[in-house]
């Protein structure tokens, strides 16, 4: 669920296979009569559908169903994490709404179809919208508030630790090592058209070493974090304009909050999308950054340890570099991981994120001043 959860023509695409979806829905505790189905959203991985289901009596209800990307090998671990986190959220009774998982008729949180693909469902959160790009400081602040509350609400999450759902996720050194191997092997003969991007990634490789050191630093507390803390994973209430829910919990895990902050900066402190073709436009907006920091630190400042505060700007640099690195690696491999709209899409994404990363590095001092000013006195 990585785009607007308001049913509009802009986020609902061509109609999918009704027969297949009807067969899937029959296994879940939802009304069995499927009135309408639409491909839904702009997510990079899963196949997502908006489904309108009708009971024998009463009002039809919208659901979000997803066929999971094959990268998720352990659906039990995935859905156990999500169930535990959303249960904890509901017990906190905060203003953030927890997503509601739809169980199967066998009381499981997912269904495996006859092709070996996994499906899950959520009750759709209506009258709320997520945004692919930021519209102004008010939205940036609400995104900060949403993820700040999420981190705060889960600060007392009990043991046992959450389970790893994607091997090597948020391991920048692992991503760089894979990139190096792919460049050497050049499986799709794409290194020549991507030579300047390859060189740019190598030039910024010091970020990999710093991330590796940070991951092992004893002063950085491992917290329950979202680990995909992008702008479009915050639902904004259509009436009030405030952060209403955090969605797309596939990667929630025990990790470093500097990377959640960094992903939020990458997507909410810049007016352009991550696939901006004019790289001169892919730059930090300091007013958006200030608004984001104000919202996020309002709910996290008292939780954070000094080493975490010191590395927030690095978290933004690392996450933007990681995005560029992973987009480029996927391009070199033949676009096997992320969904693309054209053969150059991953390369365009990489260029945009590299430009933004360099901008974040050059503006580090100004960003640190903003963080200091936004911390509650």
pLDDT tens for 231-244 read 999 999 999 999 99
Q: Tell me the mean pLDDT in the region 13-18.
A: 66
- Residue 121, pLDDT score: 95
| Residue 143 to residue 126: CA distance in whole angstroms | 18
Residue 54 or 191, more confident = 191
The pLDDT tens digits for 171-185 are 999 999 999 999 999
Q: Supply the pLDDT for residue 7.
A: 42
- Please check whether residue 255 is in contact with residue 172, taking contact to mean a CB–CB distance below 8 angstroms: no
Q: How many helices (H) and strands (E) does the chain have?
A: 12, 11
- pLDDT tens profile 30-46: 987 888 888 876 666 77
Q: In the chain, list all ranges with CATH 3.30.200.20.
A: 18-126
β strands within the chain, DSSP E: 33-39, 47-54, 61-67, 101-102, 111-112, 118-123, 128-129, 223-225, 234-237, 243-246, 253-255
Q: How confident is the model at residue 13 (pLDDT cuts 50, 70, 90)?
A: very low
Average pLDDT estimate for 112-126 = 93
Q: Residue 323: enclosing H or E segment and its boundaries? A: helix 312-333
Output the pLDDT for position 232.
Answer: 94
User: Are the CB atoms for 264 and 229 separated by under 8 Å?
Assistant: yes
| Gap between the Cα atoms of 91 and 114, Å rounded | 37
**pLDDT surpasses 60 at 358:** yes
Q: What pLDDT score was predicted for residue 9?
A: 37
Q: How far is CA 140 from the centre of its chain?
A: 16
In this predicted structure, the answer to whether residue 1 has a pLDDT above a threshold of 80 is no
Cα distance between residue 163 and residue 87, in whole Å = 16
* pLDDT of amino acid 44: 67
Could you tell me if 246 and 279 are in contact, meaning their C-beta atoms sit under 8 angstroms apart?
no
Where do you find CATH 3.90.1200.10 in the chain? 137-374
Q: How confident is the model at residue 14 (pLDDT cuts 50, 70, 90)?
A: low
pLDDT of 158 strictly over 60: yes
Q: Which residue has the tokens 């430009």?
A: 355
* DSSP per position, 180-236: HHHHHH-TTS-TTTTHHHHHHHHHTTHHHHHHHHHHT-TTS--EEE-S---GGGEEE
State residue 41's pLDDT score.
67
Task: Give pLDDT, residue 43.
Answer: 62
Average pLDDT over residues 303-312: 94
User: Does the reported pTM lie above 0.75?
Assistant: yes
pLDDT band at 218 (very low <50, low <70, confident <90, very high): low
- Separation of CA 315 from chain center: 15
- Please give the average per-residue pLDDT across 118-131, as a whole number: 94
The CA distance from 107 to 87, in Å, is 16
Tell me the pLDDT of the chain averaged across its residues. 92
In terms of pLDDT, which residue wins out, 54 or 194?
194
Query: Cβ(103)–Cβ(110) under 8 Å?
Result: no
Is 185:333 a contact under the CB 8 Å cutoff? no
Name residue, tokens 């499986």. Answer: 187
Alpha carbon separation from 352 to 28, 139, 191 (Å, rounded): 41, 22, 18
Pairing of strands 61-67, 47-54: antiparallel
Confidence class for position 19, pLDDT limits 50, 70, 90:
confident
Q: What fold characterizes domain 137-374?
A: Aminoglycoside 3'-phosphotransferase; Chain: A, domain 2 (3.90.1200)
Is residue 4 pLDDT above 50, yes or no? no
Region 158-170: mean pLDDT is 92
Note the pLDDT of residue 42.
66
Local structure of 350: helix, strand or coil: helix
Which single residue is written with the structure tokens 């509901």?
90
Which percentage of the chain shows pLDDT scores above 90? 79
> 4-13, 74-83, 319-328: which range is least confident on average?
4-13
Reported confidence tier of residue 249, pLDDT bands at 50, 70, 90: very high
Domain 18-126 has CATH 3.40.190.10: no
More confident residue, 76 or 2: 76
Residue range 315-342, pLDDT digits in tens: 999 999 999 999 999 999 999 988 899 9
SS3 240: coil
């Amino acid at each position: 669920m990585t785009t607007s959860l308001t049913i509009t023509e802009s986020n609902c695409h061509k109609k999918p296979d009704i027969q297949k979806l009807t067969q899937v829905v029959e296994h879940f505790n939802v009304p069995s009569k499927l009135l309408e189905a639409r491909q839904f959203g702009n997510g990079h991985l899963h196949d997502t559908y908006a489904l309108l289901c009708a009971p024998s009596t009463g009002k039809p209800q919208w659901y979000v169903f997803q066929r999971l990307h094959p990268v998720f090998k352990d659906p039990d671990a995935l859905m156990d994490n999500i169930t535990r986190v959303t249960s904890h959220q509901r017990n906190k009774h905060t203003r953030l709404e927890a997503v509601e998982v739809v169980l199967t008729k066998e009381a499981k949180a997912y269904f495996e179809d006859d092709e070996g693909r996994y499906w899950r469902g959520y009750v759709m959160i209506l009258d709320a919208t997520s945004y692919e790009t930021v519209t102004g400081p008010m939205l940036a602040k609400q995104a900060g508030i949403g993820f700040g509350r999420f981190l705060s609400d889960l600060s007392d999450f009990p043991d046992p630790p959450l389970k790893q759902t994607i091997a090597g996720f948020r391991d920048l050194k692992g991503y760089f090592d894979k990139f190096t191997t792919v460049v050497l092997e050049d499986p799709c003969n794409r290194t020549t058209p991507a030579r300047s991007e390859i060189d740019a990634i190598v030039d910024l490789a010091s970020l990999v070493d710093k991330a590796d050191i940070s991951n092992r630093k004893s002063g950085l507390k491992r917290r329950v974090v979202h680990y995909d803390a992008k702008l479009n994973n915050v639902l904004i209430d259509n009436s009030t304009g405030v952060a209403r829910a955090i969605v797309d919990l596939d990667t929630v895990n025990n990790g470093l909050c500097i990377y959640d902050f960094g992903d939020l900066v990458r997507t909410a402190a810049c007016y352009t999308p991550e696939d901006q073709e004019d790289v001169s436009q892919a730059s930090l907006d300091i007013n958006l950054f200030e608004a984001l920091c104000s919202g996020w630190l309002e709910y996290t400042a008292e939780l954070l340890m000094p080493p975490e505060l010191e590395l927030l700007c690095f978290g933004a640099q690392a996450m933007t570099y990681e995005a560029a690195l992973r987009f480029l690696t996927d391009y070199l491999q033949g676009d096997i991981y992320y969904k693309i709209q054209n053969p150059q899409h991953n390369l365009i994404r990489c260029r945009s994120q590299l430009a933004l990363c360099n901008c974040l590095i050059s503006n580090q001092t100004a960003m640190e001043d903003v963080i200091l000013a936004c911390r509650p006195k």
